[in-house]
Structure formats: structure tokens, C-alpha cells
Structure 1
Amino acid sequence: MGTLREAQVGSTVRVKKLNGEGALKRRLMDMGFTNGCEVYVRKVAPLGDPVEVTIRGYELSVRKDDAENIEVE
């Protein structure tokens, strides 16, 4: 499909792969983004930053730069 940033509001996607290295990848994993995890896209701010998602039962806001590093299907 693409990245989390490209996902449509109201859709549920599955994490396919995390791009990035070191601290960025670790931070995304600490937030709950792991391979196979389902993510519901709740809303996107008017200028596209941040993206609000529901993951593992809690709400989370992700910057668009970080959302581009999360490949989803």
C-alpha cells in the first residue's frame, strides 16, 4: 500500500516494515509499531501533521516525518 502517512482516515492498516535506523527505529518500536500490528487512522491535522492513530488500544499522535518511515499494507 505505502506508508502510514498515505493511509486514509478511517482505515485500518497493518504494519509491514519499519524503515530508519538506530534511535528512530527504536522510538517507533517503543511506541508500539511492530511488524504485523494493526493501526487505525483516526484523523489527520489540516496541514497533514500530525497523524492521530489508535494502536494497541491507545491513541497516539505521530509526526508525518515519522509516519513516512512506517510501511503499511
Structure 2
Amino acid sequence: MKLSELKAGERAEVTAVAAEPAIRRRLMDLGLVRGTELEVLRFAPLGDPIEINCKGLLLTLRRNEAEGIAVNKLEAAEATQNGWPGLRRRHRFGKRA
């Protein structure tokens, strides 16, 4: 399954990163390596870009970059079993989340 096929709120584990060498290297430097758990937070109104939470880091990826990332979807029990609760609070200028 591709990262771009997940819906907002779903969690997954990265199994492979296939992209152009420069983009692949940058994604791996940001923490998207095999075995990393991530959560899809939201999509832009037209579906591009995608915001994900990876190891507490908020990443925004283009859809074509997300299509190069293979993932295994995790069930809710599997995701909480590893003790990673995910991002629960968002801070915005002038608003409370």
C-alpha cells in the first residue's frame, strides 16, 4: 500500500522508500526509514500536499512523493501497543486547539 492511499487519522509503518535519489535521501534524513511508524494528519483541500506525523515531527509531502513510500497499515491496537500516542495537541497563532 502507498502512503498516498491512506486516509486522515490512519497509522502505518514504512516498508520501503522508492523515489528519485535526491528525494529518497532527503526523506530518509527526515526519518522516513523502514520500520518507522507514522500517522496521516490531514490533506489539503485538493488532496495535495499531505501532512503526516513521523516521530513527533510534522512533515508535509507532495502526493507524488507520498506515492513512492510503501507502508503497512496498522490497526489501532498495534499503534498504541508500541507506546507512541501521536500528536494530540496543535498550536496555532491566536487559536487554541
Fold shared per TM-score above 0.5 = yes
The list of structure 1 runs, each at least 4 consecutive aligned residues, that deviate by more than 2 angstroms after superposition, is none
Matched residues in 1 for 2:36 and 2:56: separation? 11
Which ranges of structure 1 fall in alignment gaps of 5 or more residues? none
TM-score, with length taken from structure 2 = 0.70
Q: Match of 1:9?
A: 8
Q: What residue identity is the alignment partner of 2:51?
A: E
Q: Once the two structures are aligned, what percentage of the paired residues are identical?
A: 40
8 Å contact from structure 2 (residues 17, 68) kept in 1: yes
Give deviations 1:1-44, integer Å, cap 9, x for gaps. Answer: x1111111101100011112421210110121000100100001
Q: Match of 1:37?
A: 36
Give the deviation of 1:58 after TM superposition.
Answer: 1.5
- Greater RCO (CA < 8 Å, at least 6 residues apart): 1
Q: Match of 1:24?
A: 23
Q: What residue identity is the alignment partner of 1:60?
A: L
Matched residues in 1 for 2:65 and 2:30: separation? 11
